[in-house]
Structure 1
Amino acid sequence: PAPRTRRKLLGRLSLPERNFVAEALRTETVGGVLLLVAAVTALIWANTAGGAYESVRGFHLGPGSLGLDLSVQHWAADGLLAVFFFVAGIELKRELVAGDLRDPRAAALPVVAALCGMAVPALVYVLTNTLGGGSTNGWAVPTATDIAFALAVLAVIGTSLPSALRAFLLTLAVVDDLFAILIIAVFFTSDLNFAALGGAFLGLAVFWVLLRKGVRGWYVYVPLGVIIWGLMYNSGIHATIAGVAMGLMLRCHRRDESEPHSPGERVEHLVRPLSAGLAVPLFALFSAGVSVSGGALGDVFTQPETLGVVLGLVVGKAVGIFGGTWLAARFTKAELNEDLAWADVFAVASLAGIGFTVSLLIGELAFTGDPRLTDEIKAAVLTGSLIAAVLSGILLKIRNAKYRGLWEDEERDEDLDGIPDVYELHKPEYHLRMAAIHEKKAAEHRRLAEVAGGESEDGNGPA
Structure 2
Amino acid sequence: MPGPTVRRTPRLLDRSTWPEARRIADILRKETIGGALLLVAALAALIWANSPWAPTYQDLRATEIGPAALHLNLDLATWAADGLLAIFFFVAGLELKREFVAGDLRDPRRAAVPVAAAIGGVVMPALVYLVVTGGDGVARGWAIPTATDIAFALAVLAVIGRSLPDALRTFLLTLAVVDDLIAIVIIAVFYTSQLAVLPLLAALVPLGVFAVLVRRRVRSWWLLLPLAFVTWALVHASGVHATVAGVLLALTVPVLPGTRAGGSGLAEHFEHRFRPFSAAFAVPVFAFFSAGVALGGLSGLSETLTEPVAAGIVAGLLIGKPLGILTATWLVARFTRATLDEGLAWVDMAGLAILAGIGFTVSLLIGDLAFGASGADQVKVAVLAGSLAAALLATVILRLRARLYQRIHEAETADSDHDGIPDLYQSP
TM-score, L = length of structure 1 = 0.89
Offset of 1:274 from its aligned partner? 0.2
Question: How far apart, in 2, do the equivalents of 1:53 and 1:301 lie?
Answer: 24
Question: How far apart, in 1, do the equivalents of 2:258 and 2:11 lie?
Answer: 30
1:281 aligns with 2:293: no
Q: Which residue number corresponds to residue 321 of structure 1?
A: 325
Question: How far apart, in 2, do the equivalents of 1:38 and 1:103 lie?
Answer: 38
Question: How far apart, in 1, do the equivalents of 2:262 and 2:409 lie?
Answer: 31
Preserved CA contact (<8 Å) 1:159 1:397: no
Question: How far apart, in 2, do the equivalents of 1:156 and 1:164 lie?
Answer: 17
Question: How far apart, in 2, do the equivalents of 1:394 and 1:64 lie?
Answer: 51
1:375 to 374, 377, 391: 377
Secondary structure at the aligned position of 1:367 is classed as helix
Preserved CA contact (<8 Å) 1:134 1:304: no
Q: Which residue number corresponds to residue 122 of structure 2?
A: 118
Q: Which residue number corresponds to residue 394 of structure 1?
A: 396
1:10 aligns with 2:13: yes
Offset of 1:425 from its aligned partner? 5.0
Q: Which residue number corresponds to residue 444 of structure 1?
A: none
Q: Which residue number corresponds to residue 460 of structure 1?
A: none
Tell me which amino acid in the other structure corresponds to 2:190. F
1:259 to 250, 259, 262: 262
For structure 1, the 5+ residue unaligned runs are 427-463
Question: How far apart, in 2, do the equivalents of 1:373 and 1:81 lie?
Answer: 21
Tell me which amino acid in the other structure corresponds to 2:273. L
Q: Which residue number corresponds to residue 386 of structure 2?
A: 384
Say which is worse superposed, 85-94 or 292-301, in terms of deviation: 292-301
Percent of aligned pairs with the same amino acid: 54
1:98 to 63, 85, 102: 102
Q: CA RMSD in A?
A: 1.4
Question: How far apart, in 2, do the equivalents of 1:167 and 1:78 lie?
Answer: 28
1:22 aligns with 2:25: yes
Tell me which amino acid in the other structure corresponds to 2:109. R
What do the CA deviations read for 1:5-27 (whole angstroms, capped 9, x no partner)?
22111111101110110011110
Preserved CA contact (<8 Å) 2:214 2:266: no
Secondary structure at the aligned position of 1:189 is classed as coil
What do the CA deviations read for 1:277-308 (whole angstroms, capped 9, x no partner)?
00000000000000112233212431111000
Question: How far apart, in 2, do the equivalents of 1:372 and 1:50 lie?
Answer: 18
**Distance of aligned partners of 1:258 and 1:63 in 2 relative to their CA distance in 1, 3 Å threshold:** closer
Question: How far apart, in 2, do the equivalents of 1:382 and 1:47 lie?
Answer: 15
Tell me which amino acid in the other structure corresponds to 1:333. R
Say which is worse superposed, 350-359 or 327-336, in terms of deviation: 327-336
Q: Which residue number corresponds to residue 143 of structure 1?
A: 146
Q: How does 1:110-259 map to 2 (within 5 A)?
A: 110-130=114-134, 135-255=138-258, 259=262
Question: How far apart, in 1, do the equivalents of 2:110 and 2:349 lie?
Answer: 16
2:416 to 414, 430, 440: 414
**Distance of aligned partners of 1:211 and 1:258 in 2 relative to their CA distance in 1, 3 Å threshold:** closer
**Distance of aligned partners of 1:221 and 1:308 in 2 relative to their CA distance in 1, 3 Å threshold:** same
What do the CA deviations read for 1:113-152 (whole angstroms, capped 9, x no partner)?
1101110000000001118x56111100000000110111
Preserved CA contact (<8 Å) 1:90 1:248: yes
Preserved CA contact (<8 Å) 1:134 1:305: no
1:89 to 78, 93, 107: 93
What do the CA deviations read for 1:195-246 (whole angstroms, capped 9, x no partner)?
2112211111111111123323111111111111111100111000111111
Question: How far apart, in 2, do the equivalents of 1:418 and 1:96 lie?
Answer: 27
Q: Which residue number corresponds to residue 434 of structure 1?
A: none
1:336 aligns with 2:345: no
Tell me which amino acid in the other structure corresponds to 2:308. P
Offset of 1:3 from its aligned partner? 4.3
Offset of 1:257 from its aligned partner? 9.7
Say which is worse superposed, 252-261 or 287-296, in terms of deviation: 252-261
Question: How far apart, in 2, do the equivalents of 1:295 and 1:58 lie?
Answer: 28
**Distance of aligned partners of 1:305 and 1:112 in 2 relative to their CA distance in 1, 3 Å threshold:** same
Question: How far apart, in 2, do the equivalents of 1:296 and 1:239 lie?
Answer: 34
Larger Rg belongs to: 1
**Distance of aligned partners of 1:210 and 1:153 in 2 relative to their CA distance in 1, 3 Å threshold:** same
Q: Which residue number corresponds to residue 51 of structure 1?
A: 55
Secondary structure at the aligned position of 2:134 is classed as helix
Question: How far apart, in 2, do the equivalents of 1:313 and 1:300 lie?
Answer: 16
Question: How far apart, in 1, do the equivalents of 2:100 and 2:260 lie?
Answer: 20
How many corresponding residue pairs? Answer: 423
Q: Which residue number corresponds to residue 455 of structure 1?
A: none
Preserved CA contact (<8 Å) 1:159 1:396: no
Preserved CA contact (<8 Å) 1:197 1:235: yes
For structure 2, the 5+ residue unaligned runs are none
Tell me which amino acid in the other structure corresponds to 1:59. T
Tell me which amino acid in the other structure corresponds to 2:330. W
Question: How far apart, in 2, do the equivalents of 1:258 and 1:414 lie?
Answer: 35
Question: How far apart, in 1, do the equivalents of 2:420 and 2:358 lie?
Answer: 35
Q: Which residue number corresponds to residue 403 of structure 1?
A: 405
